[in-house]
Amino acid sequence: KGLEWGLSSMVKAGFEVEKCWVEGSEGVVKVKTNHEFKGNFKVDIMQIFLFEVNEDGKLKYLQSFVPYRPGGLPGFLTKVTGMFWK
């Protein structure tokens, strides 16, 4: 529900891999994200993704972390969204 809501207003998703660490089937990726949403609203943040793949190389686990809450409207929207989807 939350993912569908978040992606429905996205016009363009941008990801730039800054660092990647892999050990066996697990890893961490540091990504600069620059997304564009309807209404010419842009969000540029750093994200960390933890992941694990299975024996077939398919994604088994993925979790995203933002090391800080974005300021302004993006920060407000994430706070309000968190209040509704706990």
* Residue-level pLDDT, tens digit, the chain, 86 residues: 666 776 788 889 888 999 999 999 999 999 998 888 888 888 888 889 999 999 999 999 999 887 666 677 777 777 777 777 75
Residue 66 in contact with residue 46, Cβ under 8 Å?
Answer: yes
> Strand ranges (DSSP E) for 1-86?
10-12, 15-23, 26-37, 41-53, 59-65
- pTM, entire model: 0.61
pLDDT at 51: 96
pLDDT at 69: 67
Q: What is the phi-psi region of residue 84: left when phi exceeds 0, alpha when psi lies from -120 to 50, beta otherwise? A: alpha
